[in-house]
């Protein structure tokens, strides 16, 4: 068995088509302006490793056409921790997780008596502690939109949205129903549908927003490739098929820009947040903690924890339980000699400064293993 993990050495595809980058100087330095005819569209293909473009037999004709006509970044180094929300938030803030505070795919919640957990459906203002591109755009009087972007729930500076979990009563959601993109019943059961279909609807919703609202900034994120690689692994026929399908979704956006007369004034970025590597071994520090008596388990349920490991994206944050007063420094776990681990001082700094958690130690598995 293998399971894919995210890897911190992905390359990014960045395509510049036309128009001007939405620069964001200090708001007081520029007069507020409205009605700008310039547009920026950011398309994030989750989990699209840059290696894919080195394979001439991957059929992604639109991406190659855009790359040939624009500019392509040779490589990127994703942020640490290399998880989806941390990377996306760095893309729109320009600062690392140590400053914006998003180090999980959600907000770390620590309640007394239960292990810490990560909750994704928390408001952007709770999660993101840095000024974002869409904040800056709105300050300049520009309009903003997001489709399936992350760490952005109830962001007050987003003008139009079709979120990862659309509100059936939302303005854009209702417009998409009226436009025949999906039925009201499917909208209300959106989360239960397969990720390929949801990617399709998100693409149609993004096209709808471009056509009918013409935002100055659109942030658009697609998830199927990430899901496919988690399930089937990278460099598999399934993952390459998902990449080819993503190309068709990018085509839809480009065609919409062309037909709407927006393309000439649009800067299009196609980006990704991380790649994938195959792993063959799972490391579970909580098992070691339980054996050491630091976590107590009754009938398969955790009843107490003096330390607790929260895995995320191939790394682990080791947390002290709030309910347990005894200060017990966590320690690096090495269940297999020579198999782990690396202490990340940055993670400790992140936790202490930004989100007030008590991450004492972070362990990181070597390639080939996953925490
Ligand atoms: Zn991702």
DSSP secondary structure, 28-65, as one string: GGS--------EEEEEEETT--GGGGG-TTS--HHHHH
What separation in Å is there between the alpha carbon of 46 and the centre of ligand 1? Answer: 5
H or E segment at 258? helix 237-259
> Which structure tokens are listed for 79?
């942020």
CA distance 49 to 308: 32
Flag whether 4 is in a domain.
no
- Identify the domain boundary among 271, 299, 332: 271
What separation in Å is there between the alpha carbon of 275 and the centre of ligand 1? Answer: 8
Residues 266 and 307 reside in one and the same domain: no
What separation in Å is there between the alpha carbon of 47 and the centre of ligand 1? Answer: 5
What separation in Å is there between the alpha carbon of 48 and the centre of ligand 1? Answer: 9
Flag whether 203 is in a domain.
yes
What separation in Å is there between the alpha carbon of 319 and the centre of ligand 1? Answer: 24
What separation in Å is there between the alpha carbon of 112 and the centre of ligand 1? Answer: 30
What separation in Å is there between the alpha carbon of 267 and the centre of ligand 1? Answer: 23
Flag whether 316 is in a domain.
yes
Name the residue among 125, 155, 135, 154 with its Cα closest to residue 217.
135
Residues 170 and 131 reside in one and the same domain: yes
pLDDT (tens, 9 = 90+) of the chain, 371 residues, equals: 333 444 333 333 444 333 323 333 333 434 344 557 899 999 999 999 888 888 999 999 999 999 999 999 876 678 877 789 999 999 999 998 888 988 889 987 776 656 777 899 999 999 999 999 999 999 999 999 999 999 999 999 999 999 999 999 999 999 999 999 999 999 999 999 999 999 999 999 999 999 999 999 999 999 999 999 888 888 899 999 999 999 999 999 999 999 999 999 999 999 999 888 776 666 666 777 777 777 788 887 878 777 677 766 555 555 543 222 222 222 233 333 333 333 333 333 333 333 344 444 455 555 555 54
- Identify the domain boundary among 224, 240, 271: 271
**What are the DSSP calls for 202-250, one per residue?**
HHHHHHHHHHHH--SEEEEEE-HHHHHHHHH-TTSHHHHHHHHHHHHHH
What separation in Å is there between the alpha carbon of 92 and the centre of ligand 1? Answer: 15
Burial 90-122, CB ≥16 within 10 A → b, else e = bbbbeebbbbbbbbbbbbbebeeebbbebeeeb
Residues 252 and 291 reside in one and the same domain: no
What separation in Å is there between the alpha carbon of 308 and the centre of ligand 1? Answer: 24
**Longest pairwise C-alpha distance within the chain:** 65
What separation in Å is there between the alpha carbon of 83 and the centre of ligand 1? Answer: 6
What separation in Å is there between the alpha carbon of 183 and the centre of ligand 1? Answer: 28
Burial 216-242, CB ≥16 within 10 A → b, else e = bbbbbbbbbbbbbbbebbbbbeebbeb
- Which pLDDT score is estimated for 60? 96
Residues 257 and 360 reside in one and the same domain: no
Flag whether 3 is in a domain.
no
What separation in Å is there between the alpha carbon of 314 and the centre of ligand 1? Answer: 12
What separation in Å is there between the alpha carbon of 154 and the centre of ligand 1? Answer: 21
* Residue 221, domain CATH: 3.40.720.10
What separation in Å is there between the alpha carbon of 121 and the centre of ligand 1? Answer: 17
> Which structure tokens are listed for 302?
């955790």
- Identify the domain boundary among 223, 252, 271: 271
Residues 35 and 184 reside in one and the same domain: yes
- Which pLDDT score is estimated for 113? 59
What is the Cα Rg of the chain in Å? 21
State the residue range of the domain holding 317: 281-370
What separation in Å is there between the alpha carbon of 358 and the centre of ligand 1? Answer: 25
What separation in Å is there between the alpha carbon of 34 and the centre of ligand 1? Answer: 33
Flag whether 146 is in a domain.
yes
What separation in Å is there between the alpha carbon of 217 and the centre of ligand 1? Answer: 21
Number of compact structural domains in the chain: 2
Flag whether 247 is in a domain.
yes
Residues 83 and 190 reside in one and the same domain: yes
CA distance 84 to 150: 8
- Which pLDDT score is estimated for 352? 36
What separation in Å is there between the alpha carbon of 150 and the centre of ligand 1? Answer: 10
- Which pLDDT score is estimated for 80? 75
Q: What share of the chain is helix, strand, coil (3-state, %, to 5)?
A: 35, 20, 45
Global pTM value = 0.79
Residues 124 and 198 reside in one and the same domain: yes
What separation in Å is there between the alpha carbon of 326 and the centre of ligand 1? Answer: 37
What separation in Å is there between the alpha carbon of 29 and the centre of ligand 1? Answer: 35
Residues 314 and 238 reside in one and the same domain: no
Residues 63 and 93 reside in one and the same domain: yes
Flag whether 5 is in a domain.
no
- Which pLDDT score is estimated for 327? 21
What separation in Å is there between the alpha carbon of 276 and the centre of ligand 1? Answer: 9
Residues 158 and 134 reside in one and the same domain: yes
Q: In DSSP terms, which residues pair with 45 in a beta bridge?
A: 222
> Which structure tokens are listed for 311?
């895995």
Flag whether 1 is in a domain.
no
Residues 294 and 264 reside in one and the same domain: no
- Which pLDDT score is estimated for 330? 28
What separation in Å is there between the alpha carbon of 255 and the centre of ligand 1? Answer: 25
Please state the φ and ψ torsions of residue 216, each to the nearest 5 degrees. Answer: -70, -35
Residues 184 and 323 reside in one and the same domain: no
């Amino acid at each position: 068995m293998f399971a894919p993990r995210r890897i911190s050495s992905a390359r990014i595809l960045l395509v510049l088509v036309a128009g001007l980058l939405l620069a964001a100087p200090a708001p007081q330095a520029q007069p507020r302006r409205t009605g700008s005819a310039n547009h920026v569209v950011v398309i994030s293909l989750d989990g699209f490793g840059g290696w894919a473009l080195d394979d001439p037999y991957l059929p992604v004709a639109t991406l190659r056409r855009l790359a040939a006509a624009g500019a392509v970044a040779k490589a990127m180094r994703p942020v640490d921790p290399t998880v989806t929300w941390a990377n996306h938030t760095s893309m729109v803030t320009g600062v690392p997780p140590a400053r914006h505070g998003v180090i999980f795919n959600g907000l770390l919640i620590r309640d007394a008596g239960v292990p810490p957990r990560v909750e994704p459906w928390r408001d952007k203002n709770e999660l993101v502690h840095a000024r974002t591109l869409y904040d800056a755009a709105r300050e300049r009087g520009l309009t903003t939109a997001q489709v399936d972007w992350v760490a952005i729930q109830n962001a007050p500076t987003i003008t139009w949205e079709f979120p990862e979990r659309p509100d059936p009563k939302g303005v854009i959601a209702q417009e998409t129903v009226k436009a025949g993109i999906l039925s009201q019943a499917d909208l209300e059961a959106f989360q239960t549908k397969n990720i390929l279909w949801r990617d399709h609807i998100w693409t149609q919703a993004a096209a709808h927003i471009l056509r009918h609202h013409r935002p100055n900034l659109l942030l658009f994120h697609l998830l199927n490739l990430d899901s496919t690689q988690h399930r089937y692994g990278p460099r598999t026929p399934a993952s390459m098929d998902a990449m080819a399908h993503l190309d068709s979704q990018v085509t839809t956006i480009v065609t919409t820009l062309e037909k709407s007369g927006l393309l000439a004034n649009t800067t299009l970025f196609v980006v990704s947040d991380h790649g994938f590597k195959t792993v063959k071994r799972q490391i579970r520090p909580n098992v070691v903690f339980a054996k050491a008596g630091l976590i107590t388990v009754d009938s398969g349920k955790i009843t107490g924890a003096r330390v607790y490991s929260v895995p995320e994206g191939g790394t682990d944050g080791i947390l002290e339980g709030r309910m347990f007063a005894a200060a017990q420094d966590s320690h690096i776990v090495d269940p297999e000699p020579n198999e782990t681990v690396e202490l990340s001082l940055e993670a400790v700094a992140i936790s202490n400064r930004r989100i007030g958690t008590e991450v004492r130690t972070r362990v990181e598995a070597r390639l080939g293993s996953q925490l």
